[in-house]
Structure 1
Amino acid sequence: METLKNDVAELAAFLEQAKSVRVRGVLTAAKAEAEREIVNLEMKARIAAEREAAGTEAKRYLHELTDYGWDQSPKFVKLFITLNGVQGCTEEDVTVNYTENSLQLHVRDLNGKDFGLTVNNLLHGIDVAKSYRKIKTDMVAIYLKKAKEGENWDVLTSIQKRLKQKQDTEMGKDGDNAESALVNIMKKMYNDGDSKTKQMIAKAWTESQDKAKMGGGPGAGLDALGDL
């Protein structure tokens, strides 16, 4: 937890220095990922405390969910999370906590395991009181009531929006300088980071090189670094 908080602070410092929109987008995505890990750790700690208070002896691990589908109607944004056998859970074991710009799903004791999904920085605001979830066969469906009915969400989160804008508007601008600055920052983050950070950067860099080879242009593969 302390390492992640230090990473967030360092990324925030880099953001203050970064000038290129492309570099800022990559740093913003990396900062959001670290913040998401902090939220997940806090959720695990809270669940552990609840079990201890209840005197629960059975030990279950929280499995973080990352895959889901989403759709929208004029009134709702809908998320679909596949979980085999979830229809066997009680209503009390499948909970969703909402804020105006985030959600946190927790499924307790599904085949002896706990599952969690956190989505922060929703693109637009939601009406917490009118948002809800349904348990279906092998699926949890979450219905986020749009604060502004009829408003179109072209992506789910503001981070995805910024990355999309970066790709659309900055592809041909200041390419060499942005790429050079990005490489230097990635090198510093790799040299100073812990093993998890190094693994994450190495994976993104390898994917970026593969994309560059396929795209055949300078900086063509740097978009893969947006996954950080």
Structure 2
Amino acid sequence: MASAVEELQKDLEEVKVLLEKATRKRVRDVLTAEKSKVETEIKNKMQQKSQRKADALDSEKPAAVVAPVVTGYTVKISNYGWDQSEKFVKIYVTLAGVHNVPTENVQVHFTERSFDLLVKNVNGKNYSMIVNNLLKPISVEGSSKKVKTDTVIVLCRKKAEGTRWDYLTQVEKECKDKEKPSYDTETDPSEGLMNVLKKIYEDGDDDMKRTINKAWVQSREKQAKGDTEF
């Protein structure tokens, strides 16, 4: 059975034939109008057919996976402890009641130099901890988490087993390095000593400051006496 579009195509062909044979202006005008009408109907039918195909394809697509909604407000974790073994760097996060939430509520995403901890719906709150720029690379596949009573343990597997981490992150290391007094061999050694004494004086209590002041005066007196004897 011919479709509606096929029937309209046949009508259009016949109208075109009649239009070629027509000689009277009035007849040609009527046929031209009919030709435009049939062409418009064919165009509309084709668009409807294409739309039905698109709708059919959309209905066959699997439903989009909707990520679970994180309810409540999120608290940034800033207090934690850490230690290490030959194979792991272990970060300890204390969260009261965390052992009572479903396992899937405790999520950790690892990269070679970072981890992102998200704990959802612990007593109506979510907790987040992001640590970037770990001191050394870790094994993503070998890293994991453990949930103990009121505690989450993030286990970062060292990529180089047996190496010691003096700091958890590169940022901590750089901050500590800046605090260390610099000893430049190309400068006057006494200048380095003065920098150390200056820092001790600034950080010291009143007794320490009096002791340094007394030592400084005695040093200047000795230096002045030596210059006089010379």
Taking structure 2 as the reference length, what is the TM-score of the superposition?
0.51
- TM-align CA RMSD: 2.9
| Residues 2-45 of structure 1 deviation map (CA, whole Å, 9 limit, x = unaligned) | xxxxxxxxxxxxxxxxxxxxxxxxxxxxxxxxxxxxxxxxxxxx
Query: What is the Cα deviation at residue 170 of structure 1?
Result: 3.3
CA distance in 2, matches of 1:173, 1:104: 42
Corresponding residue number in structure 2 for 1:104: 116
2:129 is matched with which residue: 100, 117, 120?
117
Corresponding residue number in structure 2 for 1:200: none
| Residues 39-76 of structure 1 deviation map (CA, whole Å, 9 limit, x = unaligned) | xxxxxxxxxxxxxx5685x8411100001010000110
Higher relative contact order (CA 8 A, sep 6+): 1
Q: 1:114 to 1:173 in 2, by over 3 A?
A: farther
Q: 1:152 to 1:55 in 2, by over 3 A?
A: closer
CA distance in 1, matches of 2:106, 2:98: 9
1:126 aligns with 2:121: no
Q: 1:93 to 1:168 in 2, by over 3 A?
A: same
CA distance in 2, matches of 1:156, 1:140: 17
Could you list the runs of 5+ residues in structure 2 that have no partner in the other structure?
Answer: 1-65, 184-190, 196-201, 210-230
Letter in 2 for 1:130: G
Query: What is the Cα deviation at residue 79 of structure 1?
Result: 0.5
Aligned-partner SS, 1:129: strand
Corresponding residue number in structure 2 for 1:70: 82
1:156 aligns with 2:195: no
CA distance in 2, matches of 1:136, 1:105: 15
Aligned-partner SS, 1:116: strand
Residue identity (%):
38
Letter in 2 for 1:73: S
| Residues 168-220 of structure 1 deviation map (CA, whole Å, 9 limit, x = unaligned) | 243975998xxxxxxxxxxxxxxxxxxxxxxxxxxxxxxxxxx7464867xxx
Q: How many residues align?
A: 132
Paired residues for 1:166-177 under 5 Å: 166-170=178-182
Corresponding residue number in structure 1 for 2:94: 82
Could you list the runs of 5+ residues in structure 1 that have no partner in the other structure?
Answer: 1-52, 177-210, 218-228
Which structure is larger by alpha-carbon Rg, 1 or 2?
2
Q: 1:168 to 1:70 in 2, by over 3 A?
A: same
Paired residues for 1:14-25 under 5 Å: none
CA distance in 2, matches of 1:94, 1:137: 13
Q: 1:55 to 1:85 in 2, by over 3 A?
A: closer
CA distance in 2, matches of 1:114, 1:169: 42
1:165 aligns with 2:184: no
Corresponding residue number in structure 1 for 2:5: none
CA distance in 2, matches of 1:59, 1:108: 8
Letter in 1 for 2:78: T
